[in-house]
Structure 1
Amino acid sequence: MSSSKASTMRQQRLGVELRRLRERAGLSSTESAKRLGGTPAQISNIEAGRYAVSAERVRTLAANYSCADQAYIDALAGMTGPRTRGWWEEYREILPAGLIDVAELEHSATALRASVMIHMPGLLQTAEYVRATAREDVPSPPAHEVEHRVSFRIKRQTVLFGDRPTPFTAIVHEAALRMGFGGPETARAQLDYLVEMSERDHVSVLVIPFGEASFPASGQPINYASGSVPQLDTVELDTEYGCDFMHAEAQLEKYRTVLDRLESRALKPGESRDLIRRIAREI
């Protein structure tokens, strides 16, 4: 078991899950440490994600906590090991930590879902669209930071390409299609790209048209990342103050339901593409 100067999102989440198992078993950190043959401080460091813990130790802890869900235990064991350096690490001292966590989350997800009302889904934005929206941040970012955000956003999109792309469903309100960020040329190119990506087998773009007045959610962007088992799913909400990550069971169930309802209110994929093309022609 080794210390990590800056724990990754994977290590933090593993710690959260181990703490959740311990609390469900009704054990204190002191009692857990006795069963493990360690100290309460070691348990605290593991649960805080400060230590890279072995798969064997995770399985021992799960047994101590009387966890019988083998798929869940295997998934937790798969989250162990030393910190790996993903491409996002080069941005860690440049961009907010929440954005780095989003990239790591998307990289490890087995499937992704998103709903947006005003902006295009982050994984489907063109470079010019990213540049145009980044310039509207308050306070206005310097030019070099804008370009960092552009390159970071484009690299995030690599999860949709390659031999094993991640399945992605994007629910987009018609308002987002008509916002026109960056002017007519940028907006039209963005809509064309949305159609192009929606034609890939693993990408679904579903549009909620104006006139569909009954649907849940308040307009806040929702990103849902599926883990290798449902207990390891994560919801990420974009806010004015950064990224908010949630993974309590009740929260996951709530946002699964919200996304399911939004999807049921949206047009089918072919109808959505037709609407996007029509709006692009009108620009």
Structure 2
Amino acid sequence: MPLRRNPTARQLRLGAELRRMRERSGMSSTEAARLLGTNQAQISNIEASRFGVSADRVRALARNYACSDPALVEALVAMAVERRRGWWEEYREILPASLLDLAELEHHAVRIRTAYVAHVPGLLQTPEHAREIFRQAVPALTPPEIEHRVSHRVKRQTILYGDAPTSYEAIVHEAALRMQFGGPFTARRQLRHILDMTEHDHITVRVIPFTAGSFPGSGQSILYATGPVAKLDTVQLDTEHGSEFLDAEAQLDRYRVVLDRMESVALDEAASRKVIHDVARS
């Protein structure tokens, strides 16, 4: 089996979960290899996502590790057998890998919670708003690079449409609503688009007003993607060098608390819509 050169974040997560399962069982990679009828290097390559792994092997490893969580095992099996190339693969040689990993994460999430202070969440941005943001990138992007990023962002938004859209909950600070990216016309269209999106039952937008004062998480954007089981949840953070993906249980617990506390200081849905409407009118 050829080695993978650049495993995706989803492939890396599968390997990491198999390693965690083994470590929780107290079994060494050498012992795991013996029970599976292979060698230690094979186990290491599977856990590092350098090799793929079949559904039968995922189940065999889970049995050997005495895993008592069948829902987790079947979720890992689904990750292992996923062979279909997503739409994001067309950008593989065009955009940074972290943007493709983000699209894949969102595609497979069953629920998304996100919080932004200085920006409108990407899944709610209009093309004009997104284009203006990309024009401010450092180092500067060429016009084709900007358009590739805009089209990628728009395609990410397809998870919010269709027969089985993803549940989406966004917390947005009033500051982001008042940023006039692209000027008043573009800003007004962006706000009206958010109001239109909140008409969908599966989309919730709540605003943190200026009057809320301080709150946790005010210095960063957060995307919390809920997996098919809680142990496969993922947090994505935006940084100057790209996306950062977190999946340790302590990290997931921390960001669940942060989002809950941000939500506690946000206005309810009706009051939030009124704020967005008032900002758009002004």
Question: Normalising by the residue count of structure 2, what TM-score does the alignment of the two structures yield?
Answer: 0.97
CA-CA distance at 1:5 after TM superposition: 4.5
CA-CA distance at 1:218 after TM superposition: 3.4
Aligned counterparts of 2:177 and 2:238: Cα–Cα separation in 1? 19
| 1:217-245: CA deviation from partner (whole Å, max 9, x where unpaired) | 13200001000000000000001111000
Partner of 2:145: 145
Asked if 2 retains the 8 angstrom alpha-carbon contact of 1:236 and 1:246, the reply is yes
Further displaced range: 17-26 or 118-127: 17-26
Partner of 1:20: 20
Partner of 2:72: 72
Aligned counterparts of 1:3 and 1:82: Cα–Cα separation in 2? 18
Partner of 1:201: 201
Partner of 1:63: 63
Partner of 2:108: 108
Aligned counterparts of 2:210 and 2:265: Cα–Cα separation in 1? 11
Partner of 1:32: 32
Unmatched tracts of structure 2, length 5 or more: none
Asked if 1 retains the 8 angstrom alpha-carbon contact of 2:117 and 2:218, the reply is no
Partner of 2:127: 127
Residue 269 of structure 1 aligns to which amino acid in structure 2?
E
Aligned counterparts of 2:191 and 2:30: Cα–Cα separation in 1? 57
Partner of 2:7: 7
CA-CA distance at 1:11 after TM superposition: 1.8
The percent identity for this pair of structures is 59
Partner of 1:47: 47
Aligned counterparts of 1:210 and 1:82: Cα–Cα separation in 2? 44
Partner of 1:260: 260
Aligned counterparts of 2:152 and 2:73: Cα–Cα separation in 1? 33
Aligned counterparts of 2:3 and 2:111: Cα–Cα separation in 1? 31
CA-CA distance at 1:63 after TM superposition: 1.1
Q: What does 1:237-248 align with in structure 2 at a 5 Å threshold?
A: 237-248=237-248
Partner of 2:269: 269
Asked if 1 retains the 8 angstrom alpha-carbon contact of 2:169 and 2:203, the reply is yes
Asked if 2 retains the 8 angstrom alpha-carbon contact of 1:116 and 1:219, the reply is no
| 1:62-106: CA deviation from partner (whole Å, max 9, x where unpaired) | 111111111111111121125321000011111111110000000
Q: What does 1:79-90 align with in structure 2 at a 5 Å threshold?
A: 79-81=79-81, 83-90=83-90
Asked if 2 retains the 8 angstrom alpha-carbon contact of 1:52 and 1:83, the reply is no
CA-CA distance at 1:154 after TM superposition: 0.1
CA-CA distance at 1:140 after TM superposition: 1.0
| 1:113-172: CA deviation from partner (whole Å, max 9, x where unpaired) | 100000100100000000000000111100100000000000000000000000000000
Q: What does 1:148-227 align with in structure 2 at a 5 Å threshold?
A: 148-227=148-227
| 1:189-212: CA deviation from partner (whole Å, max 9, x where unpaired) | 000001100111000000000110
Asked if 2 retains the 8 angstrom alpha-carbon contact of 1:3 and 1:50, the reply is yes
Residue 199 of structure 1 aligns to which amino acid in structure 2?
E
Partner of 1:236: 236
Residue 265 of structure 2 aligns to which amino acid in structure 1?
R
Question: Normalising by the residue count of structure 1, what TM-score does the alignment of the two structures yield?
Answer: 0.97
Asked if 2 retains the 8 angstrom alpha-carbon contact of 1:54 and 1:81, the reply is yes
Aligned counterparts of 1:219 and 1:174: Cα–Cα separation in 2? 14
Unmatched tracts of structure 1, length 5 or more: none
Residue 184 of structure 1 aligns to which amino acid in structure 2?
P
